[in-house]
A and B are shown apart, each in its own frame.
Chain A
């Protein structure tokens, strides 16, 4: 949870088994690249034949997918279920889902289009809530570097921006792109900055995404026995480097893209986020909030 609070993302490599990945690809009618002519035809075909249902926004996740369908199996995987319950609770609802397909160069050449990557953005719209949604990504096939897997910027999830208004940041220090084996699952905080890369391979790249909303406060959903206790204060600046790394070191991690001044606000916002996730409304890490809350007038 501390890792998620700090970076805004979690990954589970090769979590989904080969058989389920194959069932998913069969279900969406994954065909040989040579047999597909246009992007539109490809989507039309998948929508007509696959078992991916049309889910009205707000449907409980537990009622969303047909029993024993590949997606049903994926969401019943104990790690996926555990992560979802920890982040958005067991009564989570589906906002939307989409099968993202990134087509290789030949489709752009055929259509006489410029093949460009997707600009950096935050999904949906400006979102100043304390509540957060998660976006679960499922990669049914291998994603190699040249396939242009989803680009993301760890630690950006608590910056409040307006969707595509971050498109001008072409490159951001510390940017990462997903490279993974089949069956990998990623979970993003809904505020994480990201964008799709360019697919320079010969093959189609798939990414199935589901956005989930909580219906309850996201306080200690990950710790039902409510055992979590914040760590006591530690020395600042004149520190003791012999001490072991703790959760607080994860929460206080800096990211290479952060400005010198705003980096401190980013840390403050992680502490505020951790207060919400733990229910410890006065907890602090490294005195960032205690110092400025000591208002005597």
Chain B
């Protein structure tokens, strides 16, 4: 039996796992499902906490970085990024 990693990335409405999902990405290392950009219009979970409740393990979260002086109003990338994983065992 081998182990493969599945990765779920959630972007939340504010920096707490209770917040609603506004963007998401899934990468399936088991090769069972090929995810790609634009493949679904509905988030896999309503909030980050719901992903934890379904067994996803959080392994990285974005830091709070103060806005650069003079550029406080510049908007750019989505801010509240959370990386989760699940390990799956099987014959791959």
Instruction: Tell me the A residues contacting B by CB distance below 8 Å.
Output: 114, 116-120, 128, 148, 151, 158-161, 165-173, 175, 177, 195, 197-198, 256-262, 265-266, 268-269, 272
Interface centre among B26, B38, B73 (most CB of A within 10 A): B38
In the complex, which of the residues B12, B38, B79 contacts A171, with contact meaning CB atoms closer than 8 Å? B38
Give the docked Cα–Cα distance between A197 and B39 (Å). Answer: 9
Given contacts A159-B76, A269-B73, contact A171 B24 (CB under 8 A): yes
Which residue on A lies nearest to B80, using beta carbons? A259
CB pair A261–B23 under 8 Å, yes or no, is no
CB pair A160–B76 under 8 Å, yes or no, is yes
Give the docked Cα–Cα distance between A266 and B74 (Å). Answer: 9
Q: B73 to chain A: which residues have CB within 8 Å? A: 265, 268-269, 272
* Cross-chain pair count, CB within 8 angstroms: 93
Q: Which of B69-83 contact A (CB under 8 A)?
A: 73-80
CB pair A170–B78 under 8 Å, yes or no, is no
Q: B40 to chain A: which residues have CB within 8 Å? A: 171
- The DSSP consensus for interface residues of chain A is loop
Given contacts A170-B26, A172-B23, contact A119 B37 (CB under 8 A): yes
**B72–chain A nearest beta-carbon distance, Å:** 8
Which residue on A lies nearest to B40, using beta carbons? A171
Q: Judge if B51 is at the interface, Cβ distance under 8 Å.
A: no
CB pair B39–A117 under 8 Å, yes or no, is yes
27 interchain pairs, CB-CB under 8 A = A117-B37, A118-B37, A120-B37, A128-B74, A159-B76, A159-B77, A160-B74, A160-B75, A161-B76, A166-B77, A167-B37, A169-B11, A169-B25, A170-B37, A171-B23, A171-B25, A171-B37, A171-B43, A173-B22, A175-B38, A198-B36, A257-B22, A259-B14, A260-B14, A265-B73, A265-B74, A268-B73
Please name the 3 residue pairs, one residue from A and one from B, whose CB atoms are nearest each other, closest first. A170-B25, A172-B23, A260-B14
CB pair A265–B75 under 8 Å, yes or no, is yes
Give the docked Cα–Cα distance between A105 and B34 (Å). Answer: 15
**B23–chain A nearest beta-carbon distance, Å:** 5
CB pair B76–A177 under 8 Å, yes or no, is no
Given contacts A117-B37, A117-B39, A151-B38, contact A159 B75 (CB under 8 A): yes
Q: A175 to chain B: which residues have CB within 8 Å? A: 38, 41
Q: Judge if B9 is at the interface, Cβ distance under 8 Å.
A: yes
Give the docked Cα–Cα distance between A159 and B25 (Å). Answer: 20
Interface membership of chain B positions 9-44, coded 1 if the CB is closer than 8 angstroms to chain A and 0 otherwise: 101111000010111111000000011111111010
Q: A265 to chain B: which residues have CB within 8 Å? A: 73-75
Q: B13 to chain A: which residues have CB within 8 Å? A: 259-260
CB pair A168–B25 under 8 Å, yes or no, is yes
Give the docked Cα–Cα distance between A128 and B24 (Å). Answer: 26
